[in-house]
Amino acid sequence: MSKRQTGLAILGACLLACSIGLAADPGVADPVQGQAAAAVCASCHQADGSGMNIPGAESWPRLAGLDATYLAKQIEDFKSGQRSSPTMQAFAQMLTDEQIPHVAAWFASLPAPSLSAAEPYSPELLERGRLLATEGDWDNYLVPCSSCHGPDNLGAGSVFPAIAGQHPAYIRDQLLNWQQGSRQNDPQQLMATVAARMSADDIQAVAAWLSTQPGTPEQKPE
C-alpha cells in the first residue's frame, strides 16, 4: 500500500468511526430512554402497547410493533394539532420534542400483541373484508390495501403502517375520519382517496377482517 493509499484507508476508517460516533448521539432514538416517558401512555395504550378495542367509544390503538418513524410522526402531528384528537393532543404535549423519538422507539420495540378472540363476525362479512384488503374492488376503483400496506398488511417502511392485527373499532374510526375530513395528515391524501371510495359496509368488513389477522410475521400460521 502506498503512503497515499494508507492515508486514504485511515481517512475511510475515520469517516466510518466518526459516523458511528454520531449515531450514538443523544439525538438518536433510544427505547430505554423512551420507556419512562411512556408510563403516562399506559392507562390507555396499556403497558405492553396492545391498546384496547372499545366499540361505540374512542378506541385506543395498538402501538406495539408499529414502525418507530411512523409513530414519531403521528405524535408530532398530534402535538402540533395537524392530526386532530383532543385526547392525544394533551398527552403528546406532555412530551418534549427530544422525548418523542425515544417514546416511539419504545413502543416500536414491543412485540405485537397476540390476537384477541375474534368477535363473532359472519363469514360473508369476513370474506368481503379479505377481498378488499388483499384483492381490491376494481369496480369501485379500490386497489387492495396490501398494495400500500405491504404483503399481509403488516406495514411497509415508515410511511405505510401495519393495519393487520389492529383493533377493529380503531380502523373503522380512522376510515370514517378520512371520509369526514377530520384526519388530514396523511401524505398526498392517499388514505382520503381510498376511504372516499368505501361504503359503510366495506369499512365494517375490512376493519373486521384486518383485526382477525396476525399483527407480525411471526404470528402467521405455517
Question: Residue numbers of the site for ligand HEC (CB under 6 A)?
Answer: 40-41, 43-45, 58, 60-61, 63, 66, 71, 74-75, 85, 87-88, 91, 94-95, 103, 132, 143, 145, 147-149, 159-161, 163, 171, 173-174, 185-187, 190-191, 194, 206
Shortest CB 12 distance to ligand HEC, Å: 38
Say if residues 116 and 53 touch (Cβ distance below 8 Å).
Answer: yes
Cβ distance to ligand HEC smaller for residue 120 or 187: 187
N-terminal to C-terminal alpha carbon distance within the chain: 53
SS3 60: strand
* Burial of 24 per CB tally in 10 Å (0-12, 13-18, 19+): exposed
Cβ distance to ligand HEC smaller for residue 28 or 36: 36
Shortest CB 49 distance to ligand HEC, Å: 9
Shortest CB 197 distance to ligand HEC, Å: 8
SS3 203: helix
The alpha carbon dihedral of 171, 52, 184, 178 has a sign of positive
Cβ distance to ligand HEC smaller for residue 112 or 191: 191
Give residue 96's Cα distance to chain centre: 21
Cβ distance to ligand HEC smaller for residue 20 or 129: 129
